[in-house]
Structure 1
Amino acid sequence: MIKKEVFTGLFIGLLANSFGVLIVTSIISLIKNAHFMWILNLYYSNENLWMLICLGATFNLIFFYYFLQKKKFYRARGVLLATFVAAITSYIIYFV
Structure 2
Amino acid sequence: MKKDIFIGILVGLIANSIGLILAATLLGGGDDFTTVIKAAAKEGFLGKLISLGAVLNLIAFFVFIKKRKDYRARGVLLITVILAVCTFVFKLF
Q: TM-score, normalised by structure 2?
A: 0.92
Of 33, 36, 50, the match for 1:36 = 33
Amino acid at match of 2:60: F
Give, in whole Å, the separation in 1 of the partners of 2:4 and 2:32.
Answer: 38
How far 1:37 moved relative to its partner?
A: 2.6
Specify the SS of the correspondent of 2:31. coil
The count of aligned residue pairs is 93
Give, in whole Å, the separation in 2 of the partners of 1:94 and 1:19.
Answer: 22
How far 1:72 moved relative to its partner?
A: 0.3
Identity of aligned residues (%): 37
How far 1:25 moved relative to its partner?
A: 0.3
Specify the SS of the correspondent of 2:54. helix
How far 1:27 moved relative to its partner?
A: 0.4
Of 27, 52, 60, the match for 1:55 = 52
Q: TM-score, normalised by structure 1?
A: 0.90
Q: Does 1:9 align with 2:27?
A: no
Of 68, 72, 79, the match for 1:71 = 68
Give, in whole Å, the separation in 2 of the partners of 1:10 and 1:34.
Answer: 30
